[in-house]
Structure 1
Amino acid sequence: MEGSHQKPHAIMIPYPLQGHVIPFVHLAMKLALKGFTITFVNTQSIHHQISKAQPHITGEDIFAEARKSGLDIRYETVGDGLPLGFDRSLNHDQFMECILHVFSAHVDELVGKTVLSDPPITCLIADTFYVWPSMIAKKYNLVNVSFWTEPALVLTLYYHLGLLRKHGHFASNDNREDTIDYIPGVRAIEPRDLMSYLQATDTLTVVHRIIYKAFEDVKKADIIVCNTVQELESKTISALHQKQPTYAIGPIFPTGFTKSIVATSMWSESDCTQWLNTKSHGSVLYISFGSYAHTSKHDIVEIANGLLFSGVNFIWVLRPDIVSSDETDFLPIGFEDNIKDRGLIVPWCCQIMVISHPAIGGFLTHCGWNSILESIWCNVPLICFPLLTDQFTNRKLVVDDWRIGLNLCDKKSITRQEVAEKINHLMKGKISDELRNEIKKVRKTLENAMETDGSSERNFNQFIKDVKDTIQKRRGIATWKLDNSSSFNLV
């Protein structure tokens, strides 16, 4: 029994959105391969959506297949405070109020029940957007690891919210519009490239209240790990590391960049392989706006007409709720008849399988961070159409810093003419060649980081060492207290 108690046991709790669950799952697998016991916690709602989309899941456990290969990953679900049938997408603010006020009580109860499992839980790995990790970690004497699933640039802007406020770039009556050049580790950034919540005029929404609390709480974490690459954001990571241990351990992909054996998709996936096999190398534009963000009917209509004008082949992932859960009729009349065999529209697909297909030559994306990393890995240049939150800041990295993509829209409103023009620039010609040359360089950076002696692998090993050292230190303190105080109660 004593030997098993030396094994680190992390309880991992992703934010209940698909873009957060995916890197958490891949990190859980990576840690389990390094000898960790993992208890992975999804909300009941997320688990219900995954199970509904993928009926082949064994029983109530998305990690059943992973355990067959010897990985010690346990699985739990927890309520988020709302009934399963509640439409979280349509009622975003009510959902977020529950995450802010109710969810922590459910997590506390779950951790209390599982903390003394065998081996005992010694580490909490929680999404940085949660407001409660320091409280739970302190209560149960756990190493507090904050997992940031987006680029370090976004983390540091939230981290230094006080500076942005002090200088009048955020939450003032009339926000300044000049260049921001005072954030540690960030050379310069324009206000238009801040995350949507930092550009908003109403700064008292539920999401703002979550951001204020979460980014004070992260400052109490023992360790921060980021799904990014040190060489891509070296100054930003270094500046954060000076404040508290911060490690770039990305990109966190499934082994071999193939479809994961762990189900994470919340929609039933269409298989596009047969259709793609009929198309020539690099001739297909892939379009997807992610799992959660919404856009307007006007934008969908302009993109659809731009696709018609461009003449390119395309796969377009159109979630039924892309405009809203109530409005599902948003394509122009006759659009699907006009595209004939050069276009394929699906409600969802396995993105890794699609963008790694040789027929894919470009990606029109909402600029979710997972999508950007996957595109870089597949040498697929991007057209950027950010919709909310970090996506505007991610676009800056893609278009301005790394020069691996184009803006979809340079003006206030999308037009079909500009959509067609940008698609043609992306898919062929001089601009296309330049983008492809640059993305190969960035891809090489990712590849090097993931080598045995690469920065991400070294940082990952250092992170594990820090976790184990902190566990030992805490154990030593707890043992000393037990020896010296009959009234001390170790929970």
Structure 2
Amino acid sequence: MAEKIHAILVPHPFQGHVNPAVHLAIKLASQGFIVTFINTHYIHHQITSKAPRPNGALVDDIFAGVRKSGLDIRYTTVSDGLPVGFDRSLNHDQYQSSLLHVFSSHVEEVVARMVAGGEKVNTLIADTFFVGHSKIARKFRLVCISFWTEAALVFSLYYHMDLLRLHGHFGCQDCREDPIDYIPGVKAIDPKDTMSYLQETDTSSVVHQIIFKIFEDVKLADSVLCNTIQEFESDTITALNTKIPFYSIGPIIPLRFNNGTVATSLWSESDCTQWLNTKPNGSVLYVSFGSYAHVSKTDLHEIAHGLSMSKVSFVWVVRPDIVSSDDADPLPSGFKEEIGERGMIIPWCCQMMVLSHPAIGGFLTHCGWNSILESIWCKVPLLCFPLLTDQVTNRKLVVDDWKIGIDLSRRKLVRKEEVAKNIERLMSEKSGRESREAIKKVKGTLEKALGPQGSSDKNMENFINNVKRLVCKDVSPP
């Protein structure tokens, strides 16, 4: 009898990484995997303290609900190296440093206890940004799977940093500005469309150290799971498959969000359904800049004034730490009174629930990968305002390649007049038609990939068969 796959799954402890990891755990468990999900104490505290409490009791296990349906998902938490009450948003570098130097040792202790206790663990699935995943896998003779939550294009650019450095496009004081046309499977790309960390001249930051380490790590993995679909990035994925088995199994998003039983939100969610029900179809702009990136107060004010000038109705997620966690009220003075009933400002929400509402006609977004996939699924065209990291490259895919959105502002300085003009352009029945038609076609491609014998369905089947083969082979220590 073939050995059952028992996978330890470790997400990177940020909202945008935890969400797809949770849904990957459910997807794998529904295919017969035993999954042990390792969250951090901090992420667990944030989720459980903000989750609805029907019986008034705190949730000890976020997967307790899905286990009732027969899925074997186990749950544990570890320290990320910092106290739960530490402000990770305000002290970003210190948090990243702890993830670089400390977090993996706590995960390793859990794996060691499981193995010593007789648990038949045979696979480690770790977010690519989890430093040291290949080392832990080798030590405990586990099949090593790297889970990439972003676009394959972004993965490929990072994977080929050595080529970028060799050609003078990265890691130098006076980098070349001509198009990058030598990355296998990637069409010529303007350096200004690469990730923000590849555009910085100082590569000594803690985030750069993490990126360098994880892409040494990933080259030792047995395979990569990617939250994209084959048809979106076919040439890039084909080229990556010559380096490492690379499976596109996306979109890993909460497709049945209304019946979801796993809480993943780090903030209390507001329900704006009743307000949206009063608005005409396609008339409301949804505005959110994600769970992680900060917006400068200057840009935030220009966007606020642009929203006011546009006369378009909107729902705006203004996260408590959107500028900084020590700035409790970052919006312009008098803004809420100025917009009146035309706008609804909330601290957080269930994004898929809002995007799927018929009143929503556009999404002003930071271009996080989860947000893009969710927007495509809900057929909502995008107004792009990338802030950092992969968002810059995602903007290129959305606007230049797939034509499913437009830019808020390509300039370094955001101006309220340009914000208002582009909001009206996206939301207008006439000028926004191209983006709306394009996103319908892209949604069709997404649905087909997820369907029986679609590309994502087949890739998941191939991935599972490959893991079974490796488990039976018994991964040997180096």
Does the alignment reach a TM-score above 0.5? yes
What is the alpha-carbon distance in structure 1 between the residues aligned to residue 452 and residue 115 of structure 2?
Answer: 33
Which residue is 1:36 aligned to?
33
- Rounded to whole Å, the distance in 1 between the matches of 2:126 and 2:362 is 34
The alpha carbon displacement at 1:325 in A equals 1.0
Aligned partners of 1:359, 1:118: CA distance in 2, in Å? 54
Q: Which runs of 5+ in 1 are unaligned?
A: 479-491
Q: 1:51 matched to which residue of 2?
A: 48
Report the Cα offset of residue 259 of structure 1: 5.3
Does structure 1 retain, via aligned residues, the 8 Å contact 2:128–2:147?
yes
Unpaired runs of 5+ residues, structure 2, are: none
Aligned pairs for 1:15-34 (under 5 A) are 15-34=12-31
**Cα distance in 2 for residues equivalent to 1:259 and 1:184:** 42
Q: 2: CA distance between counterparts of 1:432 and 1:176?
A: 36
Given the alignment of the two structures, is residue 104 of structure 1 paired with residue 141 of structure 2, yes or no?
A: no
How far apart are residue 258 of structure 1 and its match? 3.6
State how 1:216-255 maps to structure 2 within 5 Å.
216-255=216-255
Secondary structure of 1:115's partner? helix
Q: CA 1:115–1:255 in 2, change beyond 3 Å: closer, same or farther? A: farther
- Counting matched residue pairs gives 475
Percent of paired sites with the same residue: 63
After superposition, the Cα gap between the structure-2 partners of 1:442 and 1:255, relative to the gap in structure 1 and judged at 3 Å, is closer
Match of 1:179 in 2: 179
| Alignment partner, residue 413 of structure 1 | 413
AA at the equivalent of 2:10:
I
* Cα deviations by residue, 1:250-273 (Å, 9 ceiling, x for unpaired): 001235354531000000000010
DSSP-derived class of the 1:449 partner: helix
Give the CA RMSD over aligned residues. 1.5
Aligned ranges 1:21-420 → 2 under 5 Å: 21-56=18-53, 59-115=59-115, 120-258=120-258, 260-420=260-420
Amino acid at match of 1:82: L
**What's the counterpart of residue 488 of structure 1?**
none
Q: Tell me, yes or no, if the aligned pair for 1:281 and 1:361 is still in contact at 8 Å.
A: yes
Q: 1:110 to 1:421 in 2, by over 3 A?
A: same
Counterpart in 1 of 2:434? 434
TM-score computed with the length of structure 1 as normaliser: 0.95
Amino acid at match of 2:239: A
The separation in 2 between residues aligned to 1:320 and 1:86, in whole angstroms, is 16
The alignment's TM-score, normalised by the length of structure 2, stands at: 0.97
Aligned residue for 2:35, secondary structure, equals strand
Aligned amino acid, residue 36 of structure 2:
T
- Tell me if the contact between 1:314 and 1:342 (Cα under 8 Å) persists in the aligned partners: yes
**Separation in structure 2 between the aligned mates of residue 247 and residue 123 of structure 1, nearest angstrom:** 16
Contact 2:48 2:59 (8 Å CA) reproduced: no
| 1:38 partner SS | strand
Task: Provide the secondary structure at the position in 2 that maps to 1:41.
Answer: strand
The answer to which of 464-473 and 425-434 deviates more is: 425-434
Partner-residue secondary structure (3-state), 2:314: strand
Q: Does structure 2 retain, via aligned residues, the 8 Å contact 1:317–1:346?
A: yes
Q: Deviation of residue 6 (structure 1)? A: 2.1
- The range that moved more, 152-161 or 195-204, is 195-204
SS in 2 for 1:40: strand
SS at match of 1:417: helix
Kindly provide the CA deviation profile for residues 16-69 of structure 1, in whole angstroms up to 9, marking residues without a partner as x. 000000000001000000111000011111001111111527541000001111
Alpha carbons 1:58, 1:64 under 8 Å: kept:
no
Superposed displacement of residue 278, structure 1: 0.5
Instruction: State the AA in 1 paired with 2:23.
Output: H
Output the CA distance in 2 between the equivalents of 1:332 and 1:65. 42
| Other structure's SS at 2:175 match | coil
Deviation at 1:117, TM superposition (A): 5.8
CA displacement, residues 188-221 of structure 1 (integer Å, 9 cap, x when unaligned)? 1101111111111211000001101101110010
Secondary structure at the aligned position of 1:243 is classed as coil
Cα deviations by residue, 1:211-243 (Å, 9 ceiling, x for unpaired): 011011100100101000000000000000111
